[in-house]
Amino acid sequence: MDAILFLTFAAIAVACAINLVLQTHPISSALSLVGVMTSLAVLYLLLGGSFIAAVQVIVYAGAIMVLFIFVIMLLNTQGERTQPKKNVLPIAIALPLLFSLIGVLAAIVATQVPAGEIVKFGTFSGGDPLTFGRAMFTRYLLPFEVTSVLILIAIVGAVVLAKKEI
């Protein structure tokens, strides 16, 4: 059952990610990204992170993607112009490098992770809101307070950038 759920949602995530890269219109890409984030939330649930799965759906798929779609609709641009590619050299270099990147990552995973490590649903329940909140407000209290300053700076920066004539 674990494997079936994992394979289903991993396939959805990869398919949506490929669609994100290939679509020409930003709205299609944004909706694909929502699909990736939602299927990742299901994988977080399988890994025992109930709180982080909820936050993934609410903050990422909810708030951040709404912001993206709002800006895309506000600017109302057409899809990318399909101008004839002036030079194929960057793509010819980039694609083999990307394939070698994924090959290196897979090799590291294959050699470093012990083969006996398995993920079984229900063996770890430390991601519930109680444990999460206790760790967040004791051991990680200072980083938590620092993020509030970061958010404040981001709010001020966004207002200044979007309002003033630069």
**Number of residues located near another protein, criterion CB under 8 A:** 82
Is residue 141 close enough to count as binding another protein by CB under 8 A?
Answer: no
Q: Which of 110, 122, 138, 142 binds another protein (CB under 8 A)?
A: 110
Map residues 85-104 to x or -, x wherever contact with another protein holds by CB under 8 A. -----xx--xx--x--xx--
Q: Which of 8, 71, 73, 141 binds another protein (CB under 8 A)?
A: 71
| Distance of closest approach, residue 2 Cβ to another protein, in angstroms | 5
16 and 10 Cβ atoms separated by less than 8 Å: no
Is residue 12 close enough to count as binding another protein by CB under 8 A?
Answer: no
Q: What is the DSSP letter of 79?
A: P
Distance (Å, whole) CA 74 – CA 79:
14
Structure tokens at 106: 């897979």
Considering only residues 19-38, where is the footprint of another protein by CB under 8 A? 20-21, 26, 29-30, 33, 36-37
Is residue 73 close enough to count as binding another protein by CB under 8 A?
Answer: no
Distance (Å, whole) CA 134 – CA 48:
17
Name the maximum alpha-carbon separation found in the chain: 59
Instruction: Identify which of 84, 103, 85 has the alpha carbon closest to the alpha carbon of residue 95.
Output: 103
Considering only residues 146-165, where is the footprint of another protein by CB under 8 A? 147, 150-151, 153-155, 157-159, 161-162
Q: Which of 18, 73, 84, 88 binds another protein (CB under 8 A)?
A: 18
The CA dihedral of 96, 19, 9, 125, to the nearest 10 degrees, is 80
